[in-house]
Amino acid sequence: METTLALSQVIEMGGKRSLRRDVGQWRRQTIERDYELARLDALSAAASRYLEVAQTQRLLVFARQVVDFTSTAENVAQRRFNAGSASRAELSRARTDLMQARLAVSNLTVRQANTKRRLASLWGETSVDFTGVEAELFALAPTPEFASVQFQLEQAPQLQQYITLERLRQAELDLAIARGRQDIEVGAGFRRVEDTGDTGVVFSFSMPLGVSNRNQGNITAARENLTKLDLEEKATRVKVFTELRNAFAWLDQARERVTLLREQILPESHQALALIQEGYGDGRFSYLELVEARRQLLSFETEAIVAATDFHQTLITLETLTGQPLTAERRLLYPTGTVSNFGSDLRLPTLDGIKVKGSLSPQDESQ
């Protein structure tokens, strides 16, 4: 009978231990890159939802102006009807316009409450604890230089992530190749022969037989993953640079829309409405002409708000692509210059002080 006490140790060949450590480090950096992308997505979502609240807030202010205007127009139509210078159809039209304006305010009030809740949900709240947000939609910052943004895009998290993933895939390939090499096992111990009482020292050495690489499947899979990652990186790079050029095109187009609307179209429309509403009480213009002028001004003002919102939303998309801050440090993207502020003091003219004439207008007589 023999009793043996021995210890053995596997000696890994091909540097497997250091390669496993490298794989672990690159996986940790990949997680950190994923966190950075998630952080940018959260910032982008917060900025977009803040912008939604600001847009709805601005539309609601203007919608309430429309209610004031249509309410005054309804009173004027009532006085004209009582004086015999307006038809019953004109009065009914004025009343339905007032009801429609109030309905628009009701719809925008609900929409504003929804957008505020969407914003509050980002910090885990189900109820809103703020009344509104501060934002000047028509303060348009200068467009950043394309060459500067294109250079910064090379450092964008979306592209930097592929550098980390490439190193991780390469480390996994190296580890798969190393695992194809056979490990050896050495050992030493004591052995006692119970029958004779002899004690001796024993050594052992073992190595798997065969020269074929038993890890070819994993090696092939690792190489395919590396090749696939390279194709994905090229596709993502094309997509990101395409989105960059599209964002710049939309940015210029949105700025042009806001400039044209706020500097030319809206002042002309505002003046036209003021002239028509001045002549409405004198019987020189019909109610339909007044309604059409008001409708045009409302449409242009709404379009201007949407265009300004599109500008800021495109800017958010641009900054998300480059990984630049969305608010406080936004000035780092811009060349020296001033912010274009088109103001936001355009309002619907009031109908107060209109003198109702007793005579019928030419339009009323034709009707």
Provide the pLDDT for residue 210.
61
Per the DSSP assignment, residues forming a β-bridge with 201 are 190
Predicted confidence band of residue 265 (pLDDT cuts 50, 70, 90) = very high
Cα separation of 331 and 318, whole Å?
A: 14
CB atoms within 10 A of CB 86: 24
CA Rg value for the chain: 37
| pLDDT tens profile 203-217 | 877 777 665 566 777
The segment with the largest mean pLDDT, out of 4-18, 35-49, 93-107, 162-176, is 93-107
Provide the pLDDT for residue 203.
80
Alpha carbon 356 to its chain centroid, in Å, reads: 52
Provide the pLDDT for residue 213.
62
Contact 137, 55 (CB under 8 A): yes
Please give the CATH architecture assigned to the domain spanning 2-204+215-366: Up-down Bundle (1.20)
Contact 324, 332 (CB under 8 A): yes
Alpha carbon 28 to its chain centroid, in Å, reads: 27
Closest CA to 97 of 78, 76, 73, 63: 73
Provide the pLDDT for residue 189.
82
Cα separation of 70 and 279, whole Å?
A: 16
**Does residue 339 register a pLDDT over 70?**
no
Provide the pLDDT for residue 27.
85
Contacts within 8 Å (CB) and 24+ apart, 117-124: 118/49, 118/52, 119/46, 119/49, 119/50, 119/52, 119/53, 122/42, 122/45, 122/46, 122/49
Provide the pLDDT for residue 257.
92
Cα separation of 97 and 162, whole Å?
A: 58
CA dihedral of 189, 190, 193, 194, whole degrees rounded to 10: -120
In angstroms, the Cα distances linking 287 to 99, 148, 210, 353 are 16, 54, 99, 17
**Does residue 259 register a pLDDT over 60?**
yes
Provide the pLDDT for residue 330.
45
Contact 182, 208 (CB under 8 A): yes
Helix (H) or strand (E) holding 341: strand 340-341
| pLDDT tens profile 164-203 | 888 888 887 777 777 777 777 788 888 888 777 788 888 8
Where do the H-state alpha helices sit in the chain? 16-83, 88-120, 146-153, 157-179, 216-260, 266-280, 287-322, 362-366
Predicted confidence band of residue 364 (pLDDT cuts 50, 70, 90) = very low
* C-alpha atoms less than 13 angstroms from C-alpha of 348 in its C-beta half-sphere: 29
Q: Provide the whole-model pTM.
A: 0.70
